[in-house]
Amino acid sequence: MKNQHDFFQGIMTVQVEGPLIEPFLQACTKRGCQITNMRRLDDSLVILTIRLKDWKILRQLRKKYRCKISIKGGKGLPFLVQHMIGRLSVLLAFIAAVVIIFVLANTLWSIKVDGLSPELEADVESKLNSYGVSPGKLTIGMKDPIEIQQQLLEDIPDLLWIGVKKQGTSYQLYGVEKTRYDTEMDTRPSNLVAAKKGMIIETFIKKGRPMVSVYDVVQKGQILATGQLVEDEDLFIHSEGEVIAETWYRVAQNLPMKQVLSLTDGSVESEYQLKFGKFAIPVWGFWRGEEGDFREESHTSDWRIFGFQIPVNLKTVDYYSIDRKSYESSRKNLEKIGISSARSNLHQELEPDAEIKDEKVLHLSEENGKVKLILLYKVYENIAVTKYVSQGD
């Protein structure tokens, strides 16, 4: 009578002791018990196997027949479960393992963005972050890839198309950037005016009527080309063009003769502190005294678990010992330095297509341990800017 049914229901081996065993068993079977594998061990001792659910009946009847019953063992699923519960730690470990595997399998581990420029990629990533899609988050409750795709397309106008694919524990995005063409032609009537004072070197007016010629010196705001094609007429067009002019820049530099430099000599000593909120406990290296000159650099670790910052941090303080050295430069040397730095400063200020044609030292003097340097630069650059003409009034 060994079958699956018995396994799931559970069977148990019971020892029955008493003078009235047979009537007891008879009464039990009348109530629906199923007794199997009965063996007599002694005159008043019998071992038998019953189903788990029959145990109640046996217990109800044992008083009446003055029998002692004791359980010798059990088999089947209910006993296995009980056994497992008995070993709570095993059960807990099992559940924990299942939960951990489940959580890890449902965590987003990486996001990969392909086919986009770095700026747009960063934009996409920050947008994803704002949707709650970032590495370390659970994917349960996250939006569908299709939904994310639509939202990204809505929120980032520079995206022509983006494919969002969930692959296991990572998101793979492939984007196509919109190539922007200024399709709408500017047709508003406008003039070209000078952005700054300069001498015209070259004019190239695509549209409009030129008002200046080469070697004219123009002031800031002077009209270089007008959209009014015919004088004293109402027809105004959009004027376009480039006017390269020679412009002048004055750059003043003040350079100290004596410079003190702090140099680290490479030796570093570290101190470690364990931080609980604002409270810090020195762990290692706290005996490092403050001897001599040193530069202090400290950084605090940013430990996170599942995106949550934990309140415990490790603070590392590095002490770099430094050497102060003073340098005295010669006037000649300083002039060179001043000129090169002035040049590079000017380059940063100017448009990328501007050209520095000439440089001239106007003034070079030395006073109070400082070198004063005034330089003049001659630059060829486009000075034309569009200025719209208001019409109708």
Partner 1 sequence: MSKWQQQIRTWISRYFDLPSDVMLDLPRITTIGSIHVYIENHTGLLHFSDEEVRIQYKKGQVRILGKDLGVKMMLKEELLLEGELKSVEFLPDSKGG
Binding site for partner 1 (CB under 8 A): 1, 22-23, 25-26, 29-30, 32, 34-40, 48
Q: Which amino acid is present at 333?
A: N
Distance in Å, CB of 23 to partner 1, minimum: 8
Q: Name the residue nearer to partner 1 (CB basis): 22 or 293.
A: 22
What does the DSSP assignment read for 113-179?
A: EESS-HHHHHHHHHHHHHTT--TTSBSTTPPPHHHHHHHHHHH-TTEEEEEEEEETTEEEEEEEEPP
Distance CA 91, CA 98 (A): 11
Rounded distance between C-alpha atoms, residue 271 and residue 280, angstroms:
12
Choice between 50 and 113, CB closer to partner 1? 50
For partner 1, the closer of residues 30 and 288 by Cβ is 30
Residue 124: φ, ψ to 5°:
-60, -40
Q: How far is the CB of 35 from partner 1 (least distance, A)?
A: 4
**Three-point CA angle 23, 25, 31, nearest 5°:** 105
Q: How far is the CB of 7 from partner 1 (least distance, A)?
A: 17
Backbone angles phi, psi at 82, to 5 degrees: -60, -40
Side chain identity at 318, as an amino acid letter?
D
Residue 374, beta-bridge partner list: 252, 363
Q: Which is nearer to partner 1, 49 or 203 (CB)?
A: 49
Q: How far is CA 116 from the centre of its chain?
A: 17
In the bound state with partner 1, the residue whose beta carbon lies nearer, of 24 and 377, is 24
Report, in Å, the least distance between residue 98 CB and partner 1.
Answer: 41
Nearest one of 244, 229, 233, 245 to 191, comparing CA atoms:
229
Nearer to partner 1, 39 or 278 (CB): 39
Task: For the CB of residue 61, give the shortest distance to partner 1 in the complex, in Å.
Answer: 14
CB of 21 to partner 1, least distance (A): 8
